[in-house]
Structure 1
Amino acid sequence: MNRKFAVNSRDHKIKIISAGHAAPAPISLIGEEPLSIRVQGMPYAVVMRTPGDEKAHVAGFCLGEGIVDQPDDITNIAFCDGEDTNVVTVTLTADRRTRIADHLDRRTYISQTSCGICGKSIVDDLVQALTPVPDGDPLDAQRALDRLIHLGDHQPLRAKTRAAHAAAIYDRDLARLSIAEDVGRHNALDKSIGMLFMDNRLSQAHLLTLSSRISYELVQKAARARIPVILAVSRPTALAVQLATALNMTLASLGKNDDLMVYCHAWRLDGSSKPTAQE
């Protein structure tokens, strides 16, 4: 964790009622606190998240929002007034600040601005702002599925609280590069991406596994990180599939009897060749 006093879970006493009898029991509850993200000293967004990995979280968030494209766009990520605060500020290079001046002046929050906008315009706008991911190499579907099935084995916070989402990223050989947990699925992905982004290893990312459903915002974040394959425990939304299809990304989820349900660009997982534009 980044913060000296970060608390990602708290002990709590409850009563368990069974067959008409009540008995006390200890339980751990997942922590949730606001995190204020400032860019160039100005407020940009406030997210509710589980404390821990704040700097990676903010780096991944900024990549997903289009605030940065490369780690070198950031001159500093720091806590305000000490590491026991819930405020992190990002300082950009002068060149990057000039390039995204309009974006910052609007203070748009891309990942959370779907209210009042039709699905078609969301996809059209995002496809224009994003670049389709490269084809890359197909993956061994069974081994990739195994990574998804065993995602929970690498979630100590979930084991403790039963309330944490996770995002894990793997390379082409399906070796794990990063994993993060958080009360929010968007936050877990920002943290996992941010860890690699800050370490200049994001180019190695090839597979993302999620403990949650796949929403269009998560597809957007993965597209910004250039991750071509997403596997999740729950099914995607129709909008997520529409966006992933346009961005040349493969989406799949866990089916009955641990089957793999693939929604678009199945060639990366089913061993077939990529269809031509005419097919």
Structure 2
Amino acid sequence: MRRVTRAVWRADGVSNGERAVPEETPVALTYNGTTHAVMMASPVDIEAFALGFSLSEGIISTPADILSLDVIAVEDGIEARMWIAEEKMAVLGARRRYLAGPTGCGLCGVESLAEAIKPAAQVTSRPVFAATTLLEAMALLGPAQALNHETRAVHAAGYFEPGRGLLAVAEDVGRHNALDKLVGKVARLDAEPAKGLLLLTSRVSIEMVQKAAVLGVPVIAAVSAPTSLAIRTADKAGITLAAVVRSDGFDLFTHPERIDLGASPRQAHVA
């Protein structure tokens, strides 16, 4: 973040002061010396971003597929320089997908409509979560958003496992970037995504569901609402989608069998 000067207008007058705002930096993701994507992102957790992006995009299958990863500050931004096996690079080159991603861009550079709406990976795990667990998990995410506390201008994604708590949080000016960073962080944890929850502070679009499916989480819990295409994609992928999660409840859109609705938060409090 950076602190900048500002003038503040209110009904009772004008004052001067400072405000914390998030940095936004071009981040080039390169493979074997070739730039594949340039995304505008918060310049933090870049290694996790590079790993998570590579997994989400299907460029690699496991973290071990990246032979080396260096984060280099350059004059115009940051480069995440990765080297992958030649067979992986050959597949990547054949896709001819070069991206220039503005903030919040999740499908920039996709060359066909079919590629944009390709089916998400199937999630088959069937854990059951108490409804109140979603509320408790989301309540933990807010205090963990250090950058957002300072700026009130970034998105967050979190990973929660019952019995273990909130294991990872990622923040970024772009919601897709935040989720990619989280995917990268979780990939390096002793975690079991098939038993966990994905927490989002943003709206849920198709790309977010596709990334969640790559992560392998059976449940998405989001503060904001989903798009209709996200709902259809989650349904087909076997993912439980809960949105508009607040302290007093949430909306459940797909695969409700994973959520034990039981007593409402208000009923549980009264009891």
TM-score, normalised relative to structure 2: 0.85
User: Does structure 2 conserve the Cα–Cα contact (< 8 Å) formed by 1:144 and 1:174?
Assistant: no
2-side partners of 1:270 and 1:179: how far apart? 25
Q: Which residue among 199, 215, 223 is the counterpart of 2:213?
A: 223
Matches within 5 A, 1:165-244: 165-173=155-163, 175-199=165-189, 201=191, 203=193, 206-244=196-234
Task: Indicate yes or no: 2:65 matched with 1:70.
Answer: no
2-side partners of 1:136 and 1:163: how far apart? 35
Residues 101 and 165 from structure 1, CA distance in 2 versus in 1: closer, same or farther, beyond 3 angstroms?
same
Bigger drift between 23-32 and 253-262 goes to: 253-262
Task: Indicate yes or no: 2:36 matched with 1:44.
Answer: yes
Structure 1 gaps of 5+ residues are: 1-8, 273-279
Deviation (angstroms), 1:198: 3.4
Deviation (angstroms), 1:25: 1.6
Residues 116 and 35 from structure 1, CA distance in 2 versus in 1: closer, same or farther, beyond 3 angstroms?
closer
1-side partners of 2:234 and 2:93: how far apart? 28
Deviations 1:228-255 (A, max 9, x none): 1100000110010111100000111125
1-side partners of 2:164 and 2:205: how far apart? 23
SS in structure 1 at match of 2:118: helix
Matches within 5 A, 1:155-174: 155-173=145-163
Could you tell me which amino acid in structure 2 is paired with residue 144 of structure 1? Answer: L
Residues 153 and 202 from structure 1, CA distance in 2 versus in 1: closer, same or farther, beyond 3 angstroms?
same
Quote the residue 1:249 is aligned against: 239
Residues 68 and 147 from structure 1, CA distance in 2 versus in 1: closer, same or farther, beyond 3 angstroms?
same
Structure 2 gaps of 5+ residues are: 263-271
Residues 225 and 17 from structure 1, CA distance in 2 versus in 1: closer, same or farther, beyond 3 angstroms?
same
Deviation (angstroms), 1:93: 2.1
Quote the residue 2:84 is aligned against: 92
Cα RMSD over matched residues?
2.8
Bigger drift between 142-151 and 94-103 goes to: 94-103
User: Does structure 2 conserve the Cα–Cα contact (< 8 Å) formed by 1:32 and 1:49?
Assistant: yes
Task: Indicate yes or no: 2:5 matched with 1:13.
Answer: yes
SS in structure 2 at match of 1:149: helix
Could you tell me which amino acid in structure 2 is paired with residue 112 of structure 1? Answer: L
Identity among equivalent pairs (%): 31
2-side partners of 1:171 and 1:271: how far apart? 18
Deviations 1:162-185 (A, max 9, x none): 101110001243611210111111
2-side partners of 1:46 and 1:122: how far apart? 19
Task: Indicate yes or no: 2:107 matched with 1:112.
Answer: yes
SS in structure 2 at match of 1:86: strand
Bigger drift between 220-229 and 107-116 goes to: 107-116
Bigger drift between 78-87 and 242-251 goes to: 78-87
Bigger drift between 82-91 and 147-156 goes to: 82-91
Q: Which residue among 109, 128, 134 is the counterpart of 1:138?
A: 128
Could you tell me which amino acid in structure 2 is paired with residue 74 of structure 1? Answer: I
2-side partners of 1:205 and 1:102: how far apart? 35
Could you tell me which amino acid in structure 2 is paired with residue 39 of structure 1? Answer: Y
User: Does structure 2 conserve the Cα–Cα contact (< 8 Å) formed by 1:250 and 1:263?
Assistant: yes
TM-score, normalised relative to structure 1: 0.82
Task: Indicate yes or no: 2:42 matched with 1:23.
Answer: no
1-side partners of 2:110 and 2:37: how far apart? 16
1-side partners of 2:54 and 2:222: how far apart? 23
Bigger drift between 173-182 and 200-209 goes to: 200-209
Q: Which residue among 249, 254, 258 is the counterpart of 1:264?
A: 254
Matched residues, number: 258
